[in-house]
Structure 1
Amino acid sequence: MTLHPEIAKFLATLPAPPEGPLNPVAMRAADEAHLPPVEDRLPLHSVEDVTARTADGEVPVRIYTPAEADTYGLLVYFHGGAFFLGSLETHDHVARSLAKETGLKVVSVGYRLAPEAAFPAGLDDCYAVVRWAAGEDSGLDWDGATLAVAGDSSGGTFAAAVAARAHDDGFDRITHQILYYPSLDLDFDVDRYPSLRENATGYGLETAGLKPFNAFYLDSGADPADPLVSPVKRTDLSGLPPALVVTAEHDPMRDEGELYGKRLREAGVPATVTRYEGANHGFVQHFSWIPEFHGVFEETRDFLHRG
Structure 2
Amino acid sequence: MSVIAHRSVSLQAALVEMGARVLLKPLITAYPVQSWSFAPLLLAERIAAAIPWAPAGVEVSRETIAGVDVERLTPTGEALRDDTALIYYHGGAFLAGGPATHRRLASVLARALGVVVLNVDYRQLPEVGLGSSVEDAYRVYRAVSDSRRYRNVVVGGDSAGGYLSVKVIELAYLDAVRAPTAFFGYSPLLTPTVTADDPRAEINDAYLTIGKLRSLRTWFDLGPGTRGADDVVVVPEEAFPPGVLVAASGEMLRIDSERLHERLDAAGNECDLHLFDGGVHAFPVLTGLTPESTEAVRLTVAFLDSVLAARQARQAA
TM above 0.5, one fold?
Answer: yes
Following superposition, the deviation at residue 218 of structure 1 comes to 3.2
Amino acid at match of 1:231: V
3-state DSSP of counterpart to 2:99: coil
In structure 1, the partner of 2:195 is 189
What per-residue deviation string (whole Å, max 9, x for no partner) do you get for residues 263-290 of structure 1?
A: 0121232111111111111212246520
Following superposition, the deviation at residue 221 of structure 1 comes to 7.8
Change (3 A) 1:149 1:249: same
What per-residue deviation string (whole Å, max 9, x for no partner) do you get for residues 139-176 of structure 1?
A: xx52x1x2110011011001011011101211124111
In structure 2, the partner of 1:217 is 220
Amino acid at match of 1:72: D
- Mapped to 2, the partners of 1:297 and 1:250 lie a distance apart of 19
Higher share in helix? 2
Amino acid at match of 2:231: S
Change (3 A) 1:30 1:78: closer
3-state DSSP of counterpart to 1:232: helix
Contact kept, 8 Å, 1:184 with 1:229, in 2: the verdict is no
RMSD: 2.8
Q: 1:126 aligns with which of 106, 128, 137?
A: 137
Amino acid at match of 2:74: T
In structure 2, the partner of 1:48 is 61
Greater shift, 146-155 or 9-18, is seen at 9-18
Contact kept, 8 Å, 1:161 with 1:229, in 2: the verdict is no
Change (3 A) 1:231 1:59: same
Q: 1:75 aligns with which of 76, 86, 103?
A: 86
Q: 1:198 aligns with which of 199, 203, 206?
A: 203
Contact kept, 8 Å, 1:149 with 1:178, in 2: the verdict is yes
Change (3 A) 1:239 1:35: closer
Does 2:184 align with 1:178?
Answer: yes
3-state DSSP of counterpart to 2:111: helix
3-state DSSP of counterpart to 2:249: strand
In structure 2, the partner of 1:26 is 40
Following superposition, the deviation at residue 13 of structure 1 comes to 4.2
In structure 1, the partner of 2:300 is 300
TM-score between both structures, scaled by the size of structure 2: 0.82
- Mapped to 2, the partners of 1:29 and 1:198 lie a distance apart of 29
Following superposition, the deviation at residue 247 of structure 1 comes to 1.3
Amino acid at match of 2:42: R
- Mapped to 1, the partners of 2:142 and 2:253 lie a distance apart of 29
In structure 1, the partner of 2:120 is 109
- Mapped to 2, the partners of 1:154 and 1:49 lie a distance apart of 22
Change (3 A) 1:150 1:219: same
Instruction: Give the ranges of 4+ consecutive aligned residues of structure 1 lying more than 6 Å apart after TM superposition.
Output: 221-224
In structure 1, the partner of 2:233 is 232
- Mapped to 2, the partners of 1:204 and 1:260 lie a distance apart of 23
3-state DSSP of counterpart to 1:120: helix
3-state DSSP of counterpart to 1:155: helix
With a CA cutoff of 8 Å and minimum separation of 6, indicate the structure with the bigger relative contact order: 2
3-state DSSP of counterpart to 1:61: strand
3-state DSSP of counterpart to 1:86: coil
TM-score between both structures, scaled by the size of structure 1: 0.84
Change (3 A) 1:19 1:66: closer
Following superposition, the deviation at residue 114 of structure 1 comes to 2.1
Q: Which runs of 5+ in 2 are unaligned?
A: 1-6, 311-317
Does 2:69 align with 1:60?
Answer: yes
What per-residue deviation string (whole Å, max 9, x for no partner) do you get for residues 178-215 of structure 1?
A: 1111111112236232x431225xx0112222223444
Change (3 A) 1:43 1:20: same
Contact kept, 8 Å, 1:119 with 1:221, in 2: the verdict is no
Contact kept, 8 Å, 2:249 with 2:276, in 1: the verdict is yes
Change (3 A) 1:158 1:292: same
- Mapped to 1, the partners of 2:304 and 2:81 lie a distance apart of 19
In structure 2, the partner of 1:147 is 153
Following superposition, the deviation at residue 95 of structure 1 comes to 0.9
Does 2:164 align with 1:158?
Answer: yes
% of aligned pairs identical?
Answer: 24
Amino acid at match of 2:155: V
- Mapped to 2, the partners of 1:6 and 1:280 lie a distance apart of 11
Change (3 A) 1:222 1:10: farther
3-state DSSP of counterpart to 1:134: helix
In structure 2, the partner of 1:281 is 281
Q: Which runs of 5+ in 1 are unaligned?
A: none
